[in-house]
Chains A and B, each alone.
Chain A
Amino acid sequence: MTRYVSLVVTACLSAVAGLAFQRVFGFGPVAPVAAVAAAVPTVLCGLLSGPRKEKRPWPLWISLVLTVAAWTGTVAVTVLRPALSDGTFPQAVREGVLGSWKSILTTLLPAPAKPEFLVLVNVLVWLAAFASAEIALRTRLRALPAVPPLGVWAVALLLGVDGPGSNLPLAAATVVLIAVLVLVRADGPDAGPAWRPLLSGLPVAAVLGALALVAGPVVPVSADPYDPREQVQAPPPQQRDSVSPLDRVGGWLLSPDQVMFTVVSKRDEIERLAVLDTFDGVTWTSSARFVPTGSRVPEGPKPRKEHAVAQRVTIGALPGVYVPAPDRPRQVDGLGVVVDPASGALAAAKPLVSGRTYTVESEVPEWSADDLAGAGVADDAEARADRRLPWGPGATTPPVQLAEFRRFAEAATQGAVSPIQKAAMLAEYLKRYAKYDVTAPPGHGYRQLDYFLGEGRRGTPEHFATAYALLARTLGLPSRVVVGFDGGNRSGGTVQYRSGDVMVWPEIKFAGLGWIRFNPLPDSARRSKSNDSVAAGETEKKLEQAQKNAASRTRGSGPGRTPQKTPPKPAAAHDTPTPWWVYASIAAAALVVAYLMAVLLAPALRRRRRRTGPPGDRITGAWHQALDHLADVGLSTARTLTAHEVAGFGAAQVGEDARGHLGPLADLVNRSRFAASGPDPRAADRAWHHTDQLGRLVTAKAGRLRRLRRRLHPRSLRDPRASGRRAG
């Protein structure tokens, strides 16, 4: 009876563990998969546990063969039914079981509920339900059947750590179910459930569940959990597009009339194409990690104010894989894209072709002078990386231009006391310092920029933006360069972006705000464009004005007295890299859990092994188990003691009640070992009865705490009587 009640609980545990994948796929796709995968193997194990000879379950291999067959059939008619019909079932199974986790890890959540993805959930829950049911049927250990579902939990948590929603209610339900499992199995599988402790324990289980629900959010690691996606290396964008958009700028400006793409939108926005944040001394490249998202783009830093914009984009002559969209895109439909979650930049899965249309919904941030005034420079890992000034490929000494750039930047920002002031003054300085000239020779290495800032003082947006970014880095401001399109020709609701509308601008990262665009281009730049470009967008104008206001607001405060805004805590936490101690703690916790499982499981498995086999082996096993019990009350060695001497020791240590069990047990083990005729199964049953009773007496004498302490000792891992068994 208890065994079958246990099966109900183990099935529920496995199903709940499967539901934890809701952070990966959402509840809808996961619920039926988890329910079926938990129920079928449990029912199968229950049916196979029927009485056979000597009331023992069928051999495990039969269960294994049947469950594999049942799983194949079930998955064929449920999750992988389409694959069955088109003949790709074997490939789908292999991909689902072996490769889907990689695809899930490289997909932003929620992942699409593809059949080959859901197979992973199915197989994990199935295995957990099968293992849990078999453990419940074949052992008397109370909590061990909960371990396989906890394994599913671990996988679900790792794969869904970045997913939406919360698993807290499911975790609480798991705690309750484990408590119920322990209560249900209180008297072992052969006896009926202990109803009284079960009824009195249920409220305790409920309280445990409630505590788990309340305590979950305050667990330290929950604020910044380990995310395996951070370890997944996505292909760099250079492999997607052999030519950097920045290198194309000069050519596009010289032949400005190519229609790159058209946008149907009610509002003019700057279209961002590529984000280049890594400078190696010669070129700017992107360090973006593009991952599949389905159609969703994860949120970036949350500004105080933003407005939504929806656009329908039709690709024209735009080459490469970078997909234009206003910053920051949230949803892309009609085009298979991969996304860099950090910057929100989009790249097409395949090179763009003319005529391809897609829609994009974006949330464009609107910054005010209040937001910018006093903003501090970001100091996270990304910002630190974006402050570096490499010497150049193969260079062994720093380029001489760096010192000149630093002096130039300091001169340009003389008197500035706040980062925003420096950034704004630098942009204003460059606006006035150089002239816009599309015929300027392209290039953005140290030497080209030295020429641009020294003798030439004429350049394209490429020169202005990259020079600004480098000068900002000499001032300690984290910078990057963005290539996009600005302006365009509006005709009704349609804006046509041509090659001449290409724009390059620098961005500076501020703590709590994220990347802020600056415009170092002279005002004559727009006017000098040969096409009939529309005026700069309203958002851009507002931003430039806010930067000017913020810079002027802090200018008079004097050095060292500029009020610095304290970055909002959530944003700072988002940007802060995971500290080393979190990893160390996770590793230590994993080791501790593994150790605990090992030291608790090893004796249990030994006990199970000792209970099996021919009657003689079972009696010897019972004797060894009794010796283990007596070790808890001080029996250090029994090598030279006879069975009755051990019994005498046990009686002296545990009490006379123990003699009543140890004496007959000693007789049984002596007869089993030394008599001419072998023992019968009833003798083995009696031996184990005496051993079990002795175990209870020892527990009462030594106390559960002392016994647990001994169990946790590393020597629990070793079978002290293994050599004797081999010898015997």
Chain B
Amino acid sequence: MTESGGADADALAGRFAQMFAALAQNVERVVRGKREKVELALVCLLSEGHLLVEDVPGVGKTTLARAMSASVEAEWARIQFTPDLLPSDITGVSIFNQGTGAFEFHPGPIFANLAVADEINRGSPKTQSALLEVMEERRVTVDGTPHPVPRPFMVIATQNPVDMDGTYPLPEAQLDRFLMRISMGYPDHQAEVALLAGAPTGALLDRLPPVMGRDDLARMIDFAQRLHVAAPLYDYVVRVVAATRDHPDLRLGASPRASVALLRAARVRAAAAGRSYLVPEDVKALAVPVIAHRLIVTPEAELRGRGGADVVGEVLASVPTPQAAGV
């Protein structure tokens, strides 16, 4: 998958779609009844973005991360955030080696392909900030020495929206670094019954076969980011994001990082649909998970029960799509 354009691009997009579907199917063997969430998580993975899963415990957040890492033969690590967790517990530390007489860097759990930051809002702001550099620049600097993280790299953070006691809400800068925010939600009745009737999840995870290697994953990431985007779609993305900046219900609109993130994710979605080009549906489908968590709603709007997703939905309903020629 090194070319795009014309019939070859269509064929490669078809191949991409097949591999994406296989990946999603593999993950869905353990995360049942959540096809849409699984696909969003995979889009996030293939966009080289980070995922914030906001949900109650026990709905499969960790399972999702483990299944994704198992499907792509990637390493995964879990970091349980607590108030006493230190930044070095995440990034690693330099320890003096008496044998060599030099400091040696001992990488922390963040040096995995998929790092699950569980209950990230329970960590102190200082510890949360330890993730800022690695999430954006994909490296950790310790004692002035940068240490790159492996590729692919993805942080899957979770937070419990219900129990907020003793938590530290993520700052805007931190939220902005997450490509998407999704909510797993409870499985439906049939999926939960199937969950009970089937084999234990742990055992399944252990036996989950890899669908592709890390190299294949890297090629898919590269292919998706070279998809053709028609000029009107750039304009459309900017219009959608810019519309949040003037919205009366928002105290803070989406940043240009949001535009970039939305376009990256939309490219992956288009390729996953077997297309070698973007369409407005790709942008619209990902606007809420990509943009909503970056918005800060005014207190008045919050009192009215409005959230970022409502505002994004309203924006999408007001910004003309590129192929709409008026009615």
At the interface, yes or no: B233 with Cβ under 8 Å from chain A? Answer: yes
Please encode chain A, from 608 to 631, with 1 for each CB lying within 8 Å of some chain B CB and 0 for all others. Answer: 000000000000100110010001
Considering the chains assembled together, what is the distance between the CA atoms of A220 and B207 in angstroms? Answer: 93
B316/A640 in contact, CB under 8 A: yes
Q: Are A627 and B327 in contact (CB-based, < 8 A)?
A: yes
The stretch that binds B, out of A31-39, A514-522, A667-675, is A667-675
Main secondary structure, interface of B, reads loop
Is A724 in the interface zone, CB < 8 Å from B? yes
A638 lies within 8 A of B276 (CB): no
The yes or no answer to B284 lying at the interface (CB within 8 A) is yes
B315 nearest in chain A by CB position: A640
Is B319 within 8 A of A637, CB to CB? no
B325 within 8 A of A: yes
Q: With A642-B279, A642-B280, A677-B6 as given contacts, are A670 and B323 in contact (CB-CB < 8 Å)? A: yes
Contact between A638 and B279, CB atoms less than 8 A apart? no
A641-B321 contact in complex given A674-B230, A675-B277, A721-B327, C-beta closer than 8 Å: yes
Most buried by A among B232, B275, B317, B327: B327
Q: With an 8 A cutoff between CB atoms, is B161 at the interface?
A: no
User: Taking A643-B281, A675-B228, A677-B6 as contacts, is the C-beta distance between A724 and B276 under 8 angstroms?
Assistant: no
| B198 at interface by CB-CB < 8 Å | no
Chain B residues within 8 Å of A707, by CB:
none
Contact yes or no, B327 A676, CB < 8 A = no
Given contacts A671-B277, A675-B276, A676-B276, contact A637 B228 (CB under 8 A): no
| Cβ < 8 Å to B, chain A residues 640-684 | 640-645, 669-671, 673-677
> Complex formed: what's the CA distance from A637 to B324 in Å?
9
- Are A720 and B321 within 8 A (Cβ)? no
B320 is an interface residue with CB less than 8 A from chain A: yes
Contact assessment for B228 and A676 in the assembled complex, using a CB-CB cutoff below 8 Å: yes
> Which of A636, A637, A642, A722 is close to B323, meaning CB atoms less than 8 Å apart?
A642
**Binary contact readout B283-327 vs A (1 if CB under 8 angstroms, 0 otherwise):** 010000000000000000000000000000000111111111111
Q: Kindly state whether residue B268 has any CB partner on chain A within 8 Å.
A: no
Q: Which of A640, A674, A724 has the most CB of B within 10 A?
A: A674
Main SS of chain A's interface residues?
Answer: helix
- Expressed in whole angstroms, the minimum distance between the Cβ of A439 and any Cβ of chain B is 92
Bound-state CA distance A675–B6 (Å) is: 9
Q: Which residues of A contact B317 (CB under 8 A)?
A: 640
Interface mask (B1-23 → A, CB under 8 Å = 1, otherwise 0): 00001110100000000000000
B228 CB to closest chain A CB (Å) equals 4
Q: Is B278 an interface residue (CB 8 A)?
A: yes
Assembly CA distance A676 to B13 (angstroms) = 13
Which residues on B sit within 8 Å (CB–CB) of A676? 5-6, 9, 228, 276-277
Which chain B residues lie closer than 8 Å to A645 at the CB level?
Answer: 281, 284
User: Which of B281, B326, B327 is the one whose CB lies under 8 Å from A642?
Assistant: B281
Measured CA separation A32–B5 after assembly (Å)? 65
Please tell me if A728 contacts chain B, counting CB pairs below 8 Å: yes
B38 to chain A: closest CB distance in Å?
Answer: 22
A624 to B232, CA, bound (A): 18
A725 proximal to B (CB < 8 A): yes
A728–B280 Cα distance when bound, in Å, is 15
- Measured in the bound complex, the distance between the Cα atoms of B326 and A631 in whole Å is 12
Contact between A631 and B327 (Cβ–Cβ < 8 Å)? yes
Size class of the contact patch on chain A:
20 to 34
B327: chain A residues at CB < 8 Å are 627, 631, 635-639, 720-721
Q: Are A640 and B325 in contact (CB under 8 A)?
A: no
| A593-620 CB contacts (< 8 Å) to partner B | 620
Contact B284 A725 (CB under 8 A): no
Q: Which B-chain residue is minimally distant from A725 (CB atoms)?
A: B325
Nearest CB of chain B from residue A453's CB, rounded to whole Å: 84
Within 8 A of B (CB), among A16-38: none
Known A-B contacts A637-B327, A642-B323, A720-B326; A674 and B6 likewise in contact (beta carbons under 8 Å):
no
When C-beta atoms are compared, the residue in chain A nearest to B231 turns out to be A674
Query: Is A723 positioned at the interface, with any CB of B under 8 Å from its CB?
Result: yes
Task: State A727–B320 Cα separation when bound (angstroms).
Answer: 12
Cα–Cα distance between A644 and B228 once the two chains are bound (Å): 20
Q: Contacts of A624 on B, CB cut-off 8 Å?
A: 325
Residue ID in chain B nearest A669 by CB atoms? B323
Cβ of A721: which chain B residues have Cβ within 8 Å of it? 325-327
Minimum CB–CB distance from B267 to chain A (whole Å) comes to 12
Q: Say whether A674 contacts B326, CB under 8 Å.
A: no
> Are A640's CB and B228's CB within 8 A?
no
Q: Which residues of A contact B326 (CB under 8 A)?
A: 638-639, 720-724
Q: How far is the CA of A641 from the CA of B327 in the complex (A)?
A: 11
- A639 to B324, Cβ gap below 8 A? yes
Bound state CA distance, A645 and B229, in angstroms? 20
Least CB distance, A649 to chain B, in whole angstroms: 11
Shortest B101–chain A CB gap in Å is 59
In chain A, what residue has the closest Cβ to B326?
Answer: A724
| A674 partner, pick from B5, B9, B279, B325, beta carbons under 8 A | B279
A542–B122 CA distance with the chains assembled, in angstroms: 132
Q: Given the complex of chains A and B, what is the CA–CA distance between A643 and B283 in angstroms?
A: 13
Residues of chain B contacted by A641 (CB below 8 angstroms): 321, 324
How many Å lie between the Cα of A455 and that of B325 in the bound state? 93
Q: How far is the CB of A528 from chain B (nearest CB, A)?
A: 94
A498 CA / B284 CA spacing, docked (Å)? 105
A676, closest chain B residue (CB)? B228
Given contacts A635-B327, A720-B327, A721-B326, contact A674 B277 (CB under 8 A): yes
Known: A640-B317, A642-B284, A673-B323; 19 extra A-B contacts, CB below 8 A, are A637-B327, A638-B326, A639-B326, A639-B327, A640-B320, A641-B324, A642-B279, A643-B280, A643-B323, A674-B228, A674-B278, A674-B279, A676-B6, A721-B325, A721-B326, A721-B327, A722-B326, A724-B325, A727-B325
- Cβ contacts A to B, 9 pairs, < 8 Å: A623-B323, A639-B324, A640-B316, A642-B284, A643-B279, A645-B284, A671-B277, A674-B233, A677-B5
Q: A residues engaging B (CB < 8 A)?
A: 620, 623-624, 627, 631, 635-645, 669-671, 673-677, 720-725, 727-728
Q: Which 5 A-B pairs have the closest CB atoms?
A: A724-B325, A676-B228, A721-B325, A674-B230, A675-B277
